[in-house]
Structure 1
Amino acid sequence: MRTLEVLILLLNVVALVALYLPRRAALRGLAYLPAVTVIVMLAHLGVEGYRWQMVPAYLLTAALFLLSLRRMRNRGDVPPARGALAFAAGGLAAVVWVAAAALPIILPVPRLPQPPGPYAVGSVLYHWMDTTRDEVYSTEPDDSREMMVQIWYPADVTADARTVPFLDNFDVALPAFAAFLEVPPFVLEHLQLVDTHSYADVPASGGESSYPVVIYSHGYKSYRTASIAQMEALASSGYIAVAIDHPYSAAFTVFPDGRVALNDPDLLPPDGRMEPGDQEAREGLQGTMVADVQFVLDQLQRLNEGGLESPLAGKLDLERVGLTGVSTGGGAILWACQIDARCKAGLVQDGWYEPIPEALVTQPLRQPFLFMQSETDMWMMDNLARLDGLYVESAAPAFHLSLTGVQHYDFGDYPLLSPVNSLLPEHGTMEGKRTVAMINAYLLAFFDQYLKGEPSVLLAGPSAEYPEVGFEGREP
């Protein structure tokens, strides 16, 4: 909960109790407390912003203020509330206060963690079209593959800089995001109040001549900003982090002209089904995401050489490129690393390996890889067997982390949305902030070691700081 929200609730409970206290000179000042609460509420609306979860608190504030008018006229010299009706009303008010406190606690305005590195964070958004590829998932036969790509980077923040939104094109994106989480859209309206630590279109930092690059690929039915905390952690620590929206695989992709490419639920067959054409559909979808990653690598080369307008020209060290991805995106980045030598290191977050062609799964990994694995039991075929084979047969350093208390939907910013996430399917029991901090710590440790050449104690063995992590590591 935000500061003024907490203050409103505390003032309300004191004002409610004060109605039943005996008439004493020392307590007369409490008669003015509801008026003070109204002032705090107006400040909250102006500074923090309205959200529907606070409506019971707003109503309680208004009711207590109206009840206080007589007391204020009499300077607090009013008998305390007594009788069955008064106590029944007090009981009802107490129930309203509990609801007023519970709603903003269960659905808080999420707070992204403070980025851990020394750099401020800039962000820029691009709309890129690959005219060499047809869009096979569009209903329009002449469409080319297009995507939105967002880049976070070490920045020099100017005085007039503005932060980027947690969810851009909010009015358009909200219904699709709500459908992805299977909740009514109004439940998530408060997400427009989330503050990020990323500033739009600011100059790149001159702290280094260039920075290593990490590309992020989201999971099926997810979206490019699903892991802002990871992107900000990387950028603040001296990386250029690049996130891709994979249209039609993503829950939604909003293009600059207002068009929305929604996820097509028929792109993939049901989990575990192996009818004719099913494996080809899985492989085709993930292969499209792999081609997206390779196209973005090509575009980054153009951008770095000044062929695309950008504050990042000359700032990308494309000899030090890492890839990371979640679920379907995790399998895609491993596939990309197997066929593209520009990938120097890969980190998979609860990856889906079943769509990867067999020839690539049995091919030993040539780059260092770190595999994070949750406690999920959602995999229906040979996903974990494929993971074991990739790890054991790797021709480069490899790490396998088993995360206790973490489930499939805990990779990204989702654990920050509510403290009761653990009651939902595919959300683990670990506290949300700790989940995000732990994943980010290993993300930075891995890329620091293999893109920056800075050895990390987290990759040396089991960690006392993160006992939830079952650690395995091997050298070829």
Structure 2
Amino acid sequence: MRLFEILIPLTLLLRLFYPKRWNIPLPALGLILHLILEGYRWQMLPLYAFTALGLLISLGELNPARPKSPTARGWKTLIGILILIVCVAPPAFFPIPKIPAPTGPYAVGTTTLHLTDTNRTDPYAPDPANLREIMVQIWYPAEAGTGTPAPWMTNIEIVAPAISDWIEMPTFFLDHLKYSTTNSYPNMPVSEAETQFPVLIFSHGFGGFRAQNTFQMQELASHGYIVVAPEHTHASVITVFPDGRVAAHNPNTLPDGVSEPEYDLAAQRLLEQWTADLQFVLDTLTLMDEMEPILRGKLDLDRVGVLGHSTGGGATVQVCAVDPRCKAGLGMDAWLVPVADEIIASGPQQPFLFLYSELWPKPKNMALFEKLFGTMGSPVARVTIQGTAHYDFTDLPALSPLAPYIGLKGPLNGGRVQEIIDAYSLAFFDAVLKGESGGWETGLEGFPEGVFVEGR
């Protein structure tokens, strides 16, 4: 909860225990300052109402006909406390999400690009003859400076209702996300501390969005990586283009109500599209390194890693298998059902790390993993993070402390989960792409929740 969201119930509590004339206006004053300085959100409506009701009751009691008995005052205080607890619950259980500050030595800049692939049409667009368009967000090591931090999500007035609908909640449910900011600063100059920085491509999950792993993107950028996250149009929760056009999620990307073979075929077609998206981004980065003003000359395209979550983890496997520009891969709860059969049979040969949650892996997916694992190059490893679920790899658990009870995370503390994911991600890419000595396992002994399952 924000400052005045805390002060309002505290002043109401003061009124309940110490009702004096001088403190009558305090809750209303706190509410007014909250609305001016912090802004309205629906979770505060019960507190707004209780504040107004308390003010009316207090004004009406300025000249009471006769003093209340101690018993009546006691009951009034008790009932007031119970109502206050109920009123505080919504903003406490659904706070403004906080993205943790990155720990690296670099400030973090961010920029967004709109790309059109003139060599591909989009089979998932309303008109399949349309060219494939994607939005891309980039986080990078930046020169330290001042400015307004970037929001967690751009076009939040469109994106938040789409996410609410995706998780089967009322469209207004996530309106408060408009107040959530990051630790990244738009269009800041790239750091001059290094001539070039290694590049990481991130692929989000099905129904996800490019900023779904902002905690991880910022952490990697703060340690000297340029992280590029395309949004897979029509398979993301929603995509908004700079001219205001909206590309809605297309349910036919992974259709319901079809046979398992039909579903698997649709999934393979989808992953082919995502793989092409990632390769197109890599192609575009070559031109950006020559032309894009912010990043010009800063992209080390000889040191490229790919990472992804869920369907994006499957895309990571597939693109690394077919594109030698990928030098390292990190899959987080990688969904392997859509990966092409020939890739399962031969596997990518680059260094690979697979992080799996404890609760998500399904027998079919893990059977495919074992086939794939046996064909992959070395080093390759699989680690299970105990006490985690599928969405623990994303920012989404920050939506509520109730996340473990509504399927958004496992029982392990969210901050601890992100610390583990960041540590493993950095150790792996630092070892492979930066050549840091000691191997990626070095320094991970402090995370007993990460259980090494198999590797070589």
TM-score, with structure 1 as normaliser: 0.89
Deviation at 1:449, TM superposition (A): 1.4
Asked if 1:440 is matched to 2:422, the reply is yes
Percent identical among aligned pairs is 39
1:328 to 311, 325, 343: 311
Q: CA RMSD in A?
A: 2.4
Asked if 1:57 is matched to 2:47, the reply is yes
Distance 1:266 1:115 in 2: 37
Q: 1:66 to 1:147 in 2, by over 3 A?
A: same
Asked if 1:371 is matched to 2:357, the reply is no
**Matched letter for residue 26 of structure 2:** V
Residue of structure 2 in register with 1:22 after alignment: none
1:101 to 88, 91, 96: 88
Distance 1:378 1:14 in 2: 50
Residue of structure 2 in register with 1:316 after alignment: 299
Distance 2:225 2:279 in 1: 19
Deviation at 1:440, TM superposition (A): 1.7
Deviation at 1:17, TM superposition (A): 1.9
Asked if 1:168 is matched to 2:144, the reply is no
Distance 2:438 2:80 in 1: 55
Residue of structure 1 in register with 2:282 after alignment: 297
> In the alignment, is the contact (CA less than 8 A) between 1:178 and 1:184 conserved in 2?
yes
Deviation at 1:258, TM superposition (A): 1.6
Residue of structure 1 in register with 2:449 after alignment: 468
Residue of structure 2 in register with 1:183 after alignment: 169
1:406 to 369, 375, 388: 388
2:119 to 132, 137, 162: 132
Distance 1:15 1:338 in 2: 66
Residue of structure 1 in register with 2:208 after alignment: 222
TM-score, with structure 2 as normaliser: 0.93
> In the alignment, is the contact (CA less than 8 A) between 2:157 and 2:178 conserved in 1?
no
Residue of structure 2 in register with 1:359 after alignment: 342
> In the alignment, is the contact (CA less than 8 A) between 1:331 and 1:352 conserved in 2?
yes
> In the alignment, is the contact (CA less than 8 A) between 2:397 and 2:408 conserved in 1?
no
Residue of structure 2 in register with 1:256 after alignment: 242
- Between stretches 266-275 and 143-152, larger displacement belongs to 266-275
Residues 41-73 of structure 1, C-alpha deviations (whole Å, 9 max, x = no match):
3332233222121222222233333444477x7
> In the alignment, is the contact (CA less than 8 A) between 1:337 and 1:346 conserved in 2?
yes
> In the alignment, is the contact (CA less than 8 A) between 2:161 and 2:174 conserved in 1?
no
Distance 1:271 1:242 in 2: 35
1:388 to 370, 378, 402: 370
Asked if 1:13 is matched to 2:13, the reply is yes
Distance 1:190 1:382 in 2: 38
Alignment of 1:72-111 (within 5 A): 81-82=68-69, 89-111=76-98
Asked if 1:247 is matched to 2:215, the reply is no
> In the alignment, is the contact (CA less than 8 A) between 2:124 and 2:234 conserved in 1?
yes
Distance 2:263 2:49 in 1: 54
- Which structure 1 residue ranges, 5 or more long, are not aligned? 20-29
- Which structure 2 residue ranges, 5 or more long, are not aligned? none
Deviation at 1:198, TM superposition (A): 1.0
Deviation at 1:300, TM superposition (A): 0.5
Deviation at 1:374, TM superposition (A): 1.3
Asked if 1:40 is matched to 2:30, the reply is yes
Q: 1:329 to 1:78 in 2, by over 3 A?
A: farther
Deviation at 1:278, TM superposition (A): 3.5
Q: 1:289 to 1:391 in 2, by over 3 A?
A: same
Distance 2:173 2:81 in 1: 24
Residues 428-466 of structure 1, C-alpha deviations (whole Å, 9 max, x = no match):
112222222221221112111111122468614862x32
Please give the secondary structure, in 1, of the residue aligned with 2:23.
Answer: helix
